[in-house]
Chain A
Amino acid sequence: MQFQATSPPHVRPRTSVTRVMGEVLLALVPAAAAWVWYFGPGLIFNMAVAVATAVACEAAILALRKRPVGLHLADLSAVVTAVLLAFALPPLTPWWITATGAAFAIIFAKQVYGGLGYNPFNPAMAGYVVLLVSFPEVMTRWLPPQGLDLAPASLGFLDTLRVTLTGGLPAGMEWDAVTGATPLDDVKTQVGLARTVQEATSGPLYGDLGAKGWEWVANWVAAGGLWLLWRRVIRWHIPVAFILGLCVPATLFWLLDSGIHPSPAFHLFSGAAMLGAFFIATDPVSAATSPAGRLVYGAGIGVLVFIIREWGGYPDAVAFAVLLMNMAVPAIDHFTRPRTYGHAG
C-alpha cells in the first residue's frame, strides 16, 4: 500500500491572511455606512479609486517581480490599504490625488520593500502623509455633517461624483460655502484665537463627546474594532495602549486647564483616534510583535497623537504618530523579548 508523506504537524491552520484581511474589511462596513450617512457619498468614490489603483499597482509590480499575482492579490492586503487610505481622505478629494496616494502606498511603501510582510511603514499612512504634505489645501476640505444646515450648500450624489472626477465644484458654488474644517482643526484654530474650548465647542457642530456625525462614525469604527477583537483578528494590546496613551495625558492637561485643552472624550471621538487605534496601528506588519512591545508601540502612538494635536502644526496626528512609531519598532522588538520558558528573566 502506498501512502502520502507529509511533515508534522498534520493539523492545518484555521485562519488565513485572506480571512484576516477580509474580516478587517467587513468590520469597516458599519463605519463606512455611517460615514456616507453623515458626509455623503464621497467615501464610496474615494474607495473605488483607491482600491482600483492599489490593486492595479500591486498586480503590476508583482508581475514585474515575477511573483504569483493571483495568490498575492487574493490576500486582500492591497484592498485593506486602499480602504484605510480612503477613510483618511476628505470626501471631495479629486480622483488623481486619491490615485497618487494609493499608488505611492502600494509601490513605494510596500512593494519596493518586498511586498506584504516586509514593509516597515504602514502603507496607507505613508500614502496619506504624502498627500497631506503635497496637497495641504485639498486635505483640509472636509464637509460638515449633513442634515444640520451647517453648510449653505450641500452636494448630491452626482455633484460629488463630478467633484471627484473634475476637481471642480458645480457652477455657482464656492469651496468655502461647501466645505468646513474638521472639529479638531476648528477647535485648534479657535483656541489659537484665544477662545476657550468651551466657547469653541458651543456651536451646533458639536455633540455629546466630539462633533456631531464624527462621533457616530467613531462609534461605529470602535464597534467594528471590538468585533475584530472578539473574532481574535486583532489583539487588545495596541488599541488599549493607544487609547490610554492618548487619554492619560489628555486627562491630565484637561484637568489642569479645560479652557485650552479639550476633554479626553473629545480627543477620542473627534478625529481618527478610533480608526487609528483599532484599524491602523494594529497593522501587524509594521507594528511591534511581542505583547509587551505592542503595549509600548500603542502607547507611543497615543502619546504622540496627543503631543502633535496639542503642540504640532497639524490638527490630527494619527498618520505621523504611526509612522514615527513604525521607525521605533526594531528597537522596541529588541527590548521587549519575552522570557523563554526555563530561562531566567
Chain B
Amino acid sequence: MAETPRLWKFHGGLKLDSRTSRATTEPIAVAPVPSRLVLPLSQHIGQPAEPVVAVGDRVLRGQPVARPRGYVGAKVHASSSGQVVEIGLHPVPHPSGLSAPCIVIETDGADQRWDGYEPMPNYASMSAPDLRARVRAAGVVGLGGAAFPTAVKLGAGAGLKLLILNGAECEPYICCDDMLMRQRPEEIIAGAQVLMHTLEIEQCAVAVEADMPEAAAAMEEARKRLGEDRIQVVSVPALYPEGGERQLIKVLTGEEVPAGGVPPDIGYLCHNVGTAAAVGRAVLAGEPLISRVVTVTGAGVASPRNVEVRLGTAVADLIAAAGGYTEQARHLLMGGAMMGFPLPDDSVPVTKAMNCVVVASAEEIRPRKPALPCIRCGECAGACPARLLPQQLYWHARAGELDRLDEYHLFDCIECGCCDVACPSQLPLTQYFRYAKTELWARERDRERSDVARQRFEARNARLEADKAARRKKLDEKTRALKKTEGDREARQQLIDDVLKKARARKSGEDADTGGDSA
C-alpha cells in the first residue's frame, strides 16, 4: 500500500463528490481509427505549430505534420496513416468557441507506422539534451489539461530536489489518470525513470488521492516489481483542488511556489502521470504523442468509461466509443465539473489537452439560482486555495476598481471555482474574476500601447528639441564670435581679410589643380 510520509495542508479547498465511480468500472477501451482526423496546430501553450506537409501529401502514423514555431511550442504528428486533404480553419475545443488552423487527414485504414524515431532503450547512457530533444520531437505536452510543452519544463536545470508525479486527480468526473495508473503503472514508472535521469533527480513522489486506492496499489506494486526504490507512492487526502500543482507541492513539501514563479524556483518539478507515460513511450519506444486516454462520462453517455483515442478524432466518435448519447444528454463539457468549459458541439477534435468529456444531464448541471447580494460571510475566503479574499475581489470587480484588484492579488486566482460553490448568495464569482482579469490585461495592453505612443512622441519631441538647440547653439556661437569682434574694427577687418585670403588661396589652389585644401 502507499506510504504516508508527513503531509501538509493547503488552505481551503472543497470535499466534492468525485462522480467517477461509473467510468471506472470498465477498463480503458481503444477507440477505432476514424476516417478523418482534424489536427489543430495549437494543442499546447505557446505559439501554434507550423505545417510541414502540404495538401495531397501522404503521411504515416507518427509522422510529423507540423513543427514548433518558437521555443515554447510542440510538434504535431499524424495520428494515423493517410492523406492530407486540407489545411484550414476548423472549430476547436477552446473556451472562445472560435475556429483555428488544423491539418485534416483522410485515413487509409492501414495505420502504417512511420519509423523516424529510434527507440532509446539505453537512455541511461544518453545525455539530457538528447533526451530533451526526443521529448520535444515527440510533441509531448502536459496531459493533465494545461498542455505546456514538456521539453521546456525538462530544461529546468540541475539541482532539483524532487520530481512530483501528479496523480491527484481531484476534479469531479475525471478519472483518466486513475485508470492509467490502475492499468499501465509500469509505463508511468518507466517514464518516471526517464524523467529522473534527464533531470538528474534522485527522488520522485507519485501523489495519488486517498479515494483512488486501486491506483495507489497498482503503482506501488509496479514500483516494487521494477525494483525502483527512488520512487515513493504517496497517498494524499482527497480534497479539491489538490491536483493543482501549487496545492500539491504545498501538501507534499509544506513549501509554497512564489507568486509569479514556477516550482523549479524552490527545487520541485511536477508532471502529470500521463505525461510521464508519454515521455516513457517517446524515449523507450520512439512513439510520438498521437493518442491519449480521455474520460467519457456523465448521465448523457450510455456506458461511461475511459477511452484511448487518436488525437484529431471527433468528440462525436469518442462518445460513440462510450456507447453514444442517452436521452438525458443536455450539456457537453471538456474537462471536469469544476473547471471544464462547454463545447459548442461534438464535431470538435480530441486534442492533447482533453482529459475528460462530460455529457451531463439537466440534473447533473442544474441552472444557477438567481444571485443575491454578497453578505460578506467569508465562506469563499475559507474555501480559496490561493488564500485570496474573493468577497473583497468581487466588491472591487463590481466597482470597476482595477487597481484594488491587483492589490488583492487577482492574478493569483487559479479559477478553481471553490468560491462559487461555497457562496450562499449564489454569486458567479469565478466568472467575475475571469472577466476582471481580461479587463486588467486589456488595460495593461492599452497602457503599453499608449506608453509606446507616448515614448515615440516624447522621443520625437526630444529629437526636434535637440535639433533646435543645436541650431541655436551654432547660431549663438557665430553671433558671439561676431559680437566679440564688434568693438574692434581692426580685428574685424582681419577676420574678413583672413576669409578672403583663404578663399583666394583655395581658388589659386584649384587653378593649380593641386586638388588639395590646405585650410
Contact = CB atoms under 8 A, between A and B. Distances in A.
A-B interaction: yes
Interface of B: 10-11, 16, 172, 246, 250, 256-261, 325, 329-333, 335, 337-346, 360, 364-370, 372-379, 381-382, 385-389, 391-392, 408-409, 412, 415-417, 420-426, 428, 430-431
Interface string A1-40: 1111111111111111101100000000000000000000
A223 to B, nearest CB: 22
Nearest to A342: B259
Contacts of B376: 117, 284-285, 287, 289
A340 B370 contact: no
Contacts of A343: 258-259, 409, 412
7 contacts: A8-B335, A11-B420, A13-B420, A340-B412, A341-B385, A341-B412, A342-B261
A1 B329 contact: yes
Interface string A275-293: 0000000001101011100
A75 B375 CA distance: 11
Contacts of A215: none
B339 A8 contact: yes
A73 to B, nearest CB: 11
Residue among A13, A114, A287 with most chain B CB within 10 A = A13
Nearest to A286: B376
A6 B365 contact: yes
Contacts of B369: 12, 16
B348 to A, nearest CB: 12
B163 to A, nearest CB: 21
Contacts of A294: 378
B256 A11 contact: no
B424 A15 contact: yes
B373 A118 contact: yes
Please name the 5 residue pairs, one residue from A and one from B, whose CB atoms are nearest each other, closest first.
A9-B417, A117-B373, A342-B259, A5-B342, A284-B377
B151 to A, nearest CB: 25
Contact of B377 (A3, A20, A115): A20
Given A11-B172, A19-B424, A290-B389, A1 B373 contact: no
Nearest to A9: B417
Nearest to B247: A341
B370 A14 contact: no
Contacts of B325: 1
A266 B333 CA distance: 60
Given A8-B417, A11-B417, A17 B425 contact: yes
A333 B396 CA distance: 14
Interface string A334-345: 000111111100
A331 interface: no
Contacts of B345: 1-3
A64 interface: no
A16 B331 contact: no
Contacts of B386: 340-342
A225 to B, nearest CB: 16
Interface in A65-82: 68, 71-72, 75, 77
Contacts of B422: 13
A116 B373 contact: yes
A72 B339 contact: no
A235 interface: yes
A13 B385 contact: no
Given A9-B417, A10-B331, A342-B259, 10 more contacts: A3-B330, A3-B332, A8-B338, A8-B341, A11-B172, A13-B421, A17-B375, A114-B373, A290-B378, A341-B412
Nearest to B360: A10
Given A10-B365, A11-B421, A284-B377, A71 B372 contact: yes
Nearest to B11: A341
Nearest to A344: B258
B417 A116 contact: no
- If over half of A's interface residues share one DSSP class (helix, strand or loop), that class is named, otherwise mixed; here it is loop
Given A10-B333, A19-B424, A289-B381, A340 B342 contact: no
Given A6-B342, A8-B341, A340 B391 contact: no
Contacts, number: 163
Contacts of B423: 13
A8 B430 contact: yes
Nearest to A339: B387
Nearest to A14: B421
Contact of A290 (B10, B259, B381, B431): B381
A285 B425 CA distance: 12
A8 B374 contact: no
Nearest to B172: A11
B16 A11 contact: yes
B417 A115 contact: no
Interface in A255-309: 284-285, 287, 289-291, 294
Contact of A3 (B338, B343, B366, B387): B343
B342 A3 contact: yes
Nearest to B258: A342
B426 A16 contact: yes
Contacts of B420: 9, 11, 13
Contacts of A289: 376, 378, 381, 389, 391-392
A97 B333 CA distance: 57
Contacts of B342: 3-7
A339 B372 CA distance: 28
Contacts of B246: 341-342
B88 to A, nearest CB: 24
A9 B421 contact: yes
B253 to A, nearest CB: 13
Interface in A228-244: 235
Interface in A209-236: 235
A11 B345 CA distance: 21
A340 B372 contact: no
Contacts of B260: 342
A341 B425 CA distance: 25
A295 B330 CA distance: 46
Given A3-B332, A6-B365, A13 B426 contact: yes
A341 B259 contact: yes
A118 B376 CA distance: 9
Interface string A309-339: 0000000000000000000000001000111
Residue among A11, A71, A294 with most chain B CB within 10 A = A11
Contacts of B329: 1, 3
Residue among B10, B258, B338, B375 with most chain A CB within 10 A = B375
B331 A9 contact: no
A75 B372 contact: yes
A243 B381 CA distance: 24
Nearest to A19: B424
Nearest to B420: A9
A292 to B, nearest CB: 11
